[in-house]
Chains A and B, each alone.
Chain A
Amino acid sequence: MGYINAILILGGINVIASLGVAILTGYTGLFTIGHAGFMALGGYMSAIMVKELNIPFPLALLIGGVFAGLCSFIIGYPAFRSRLRGDYFAIATLGFAESIRLLLNNTKVLGGLKLGGAFGYMNIPTHTDVYAIVLIVIGALYFAHMFVTSQYGKNCIAISQDEVAAEMMGVNLMKTKLTALFISAFYCGIAGGLLGMYFAYLSPSFFTTVPSAGLLAAVVFGGIQSLIGPFITAFILVLVPELLRSFAEWRLIIYGFLFVIVMIFRPQGLLGYVEMNFTFVHVFWNKIFHRNQTGASEG
């Protein structure tokens, strides 16, 4: 049971972070390979809040998320001002995340706080359990859905499709992109906080480019302009390594192979452009209901 719980919790954390990246990469079209950096920022912040200041855990998570979101402006503002896009923006985020990691790696003590440097920040109270994760994942999915279907989200989609046309139609590129970046960093910050309060310690080595690339992979693999695609893929990306534990060395090779296959046959991702909606529930319901009615009339 503990093992399954662990998979659910780690999968849930990955899902939350991926939903954030889905908003930025899937919907706004900005590629990132540095969102583990925002997980680190949010994670350390909320861990400090819980451990040093005894702030209740949901509030600490929120503070961590907002902190990560605010930090995203440090990279977002100059990058969007100089109109970095595509690979260039991805590299900027990569550099940002790496500098965060290296800073944490080399900061043993910060103003009386024992961050522990490369050894990690120890003895964080553990609050993350399956119930909290399920609740937060549902909330994260709900709010992400609300955002991408709102006028703000549609402006993001417009930017991803044709930036010039969007700007000429009156979309403020800077504001819209910064909003998307803030939300994605917020989600990752929450995910980082949950991670710290699950493992009871945080180490800079959690936040290398590997998890960053994993988040991007979940979105690209799961599908552009889709929430449910990254949702499923992010969970699978946690689950599959567990299933493939017996051939651990082959894991990354199989990964790479699968990615190439998907990119060749479905460049838009497995569920690309498939909006998460529940119309199929309605259709199904109507079908049953309708059949019952006709059945009744026949009988």
Chain B
Amino acid sequence: MNSEMINPNETLTIRNLTVDFGGVRAVNDVTMSVQKGELVGLIGPNGAGKTTVFNLITNAFPPTSGQIMLNGKSILGVSPDQICRLGISRTFQNIRLFPQMTAYENVELGFHSVPHYSIAEAFIRTPRATRIEKDTHKKAFELLEIVNLKEHCDERASSLPYGLQRRLEMARAMAASPQLLLLDEPAAGMNEDECKDLIKLIRLIHETMKYTIIMIEHHMNVVMDLCRGYRIYVLSLGSLLAIGTPSEIQNNPQVIKAYLGERKNA
């Protein structure tokens, strides 16, 4: 198959992505693709460059070389806010909610980061603007209901417990109605029960709401469970180590080595 040809179903294409921070090569020649409707896992030991890949996709900083394409169109050099509008939305490893805004307002922002009425209508608040506000209100509540935060809608984001903040961040990311959702360690710091709830939620988002997702995760049971039938990419020290289905990855000696190290007298 011609490597230059782009599959029309391919939502995200990354080719030979490399980034240097001074003398450190944080991401080295990474090539990835995500098909429409997939739930792709991205795993690797600490410092492997997983979050850096997300930061490069959303252009928090530019890559040294390589290509990133959304639906076959290059998004290199496009500003982060425009990338969001083009359809890539993300959550953060260290939660970045708007702390003094309520849960509802956080989600609402995802809908109106580009206001739907003109500035003049904002001052005069025409009936059209009021109708748009009501519409946004309804949609935001629908999302809050999906992530089970409806009863917390009026609480400040910073006062919510950690697990709920993660859910809220996912709702906010979904509010931008992305074609591709980047989840950065959604299960970080969660216990077994919370993980189970989270798996249910992500499965709902993926299967029922048909979102295409890339997920960075350290909880292996979460990744292995969710990515069943799809692919997992393993990064180590900035380079791709392996690609495969969950069972392939679990039995890959290189992956085991990267995670656990080698037995001295093996």
Contact = CB atoms under 8 A, between A and B. Distances in A.
Interface in A152-187: 152-155, 157-158, 161-162, 164-173, 179
Interface string B118-130: 0100111100010
B60 interface: yes
Interface in B59-106: 60, 79-82, 84-85, 89-90, 92, 96-101, 105
Interface SS majority for chain A: helix
A165 B157 CA distance: 14
Interface residues of A, number: 26
A161 B114 contact: no
B34 interface: no
B119 A152 contact: yes
A260 interface: no
A143 B113 CA distance: 21
B97 A165 contact: yes
A151 interface: yes
B12 interface: no
Contact of B98 (A146, A147, A161, A273): A161
B153 to A, nearest CB: 15
Contact of A273 (B80, B82, B100): B100
A91 B80 CA distance: 27
Contacts of A273: 100
Given A169-B84, A170-B113, A152 B122 contact: yes
A174 B264 CA distance: 56
A225 interface: yes
Contact of B110 (A153, A162, A169, A172): A169
A170 B123 contact: no
A117 B122 CA distance: 40
Contacts of A225: 100
Given A155-B109, A157-B98, A171-B81, A146 B117 contact: no
Contact of B113 (A162, A164, A169): A169
B160 to A, nearest CB: 15
A150 interface: yes
Interface of B: 58, 60, 79-82, 84-85, 89-90, 92, 96-101, 105, 108-110, 112-117, 119, 122-125, 129, 133, 136, 172-173, 176
Minimum-distance CB pairs A-B, first 4: A150-B122, A170-B84, A170-B113, A151-B115
17 contacts: A146-B123, A151-B116, A154-B112, A158-B98, A162-B99, A165-B96, A167-B80, A167-B81, A168-B58, A169-B172, A170-B81, A170-B82, A170-B84, A170-B110, A170-B113, A170-B176, A172-B114
Given A158-B109, A169-B110, 7 more contacts: A146-B122, A155-B112, A157-B100, A169-B84, A169-B89, A169-B172, A172-B113
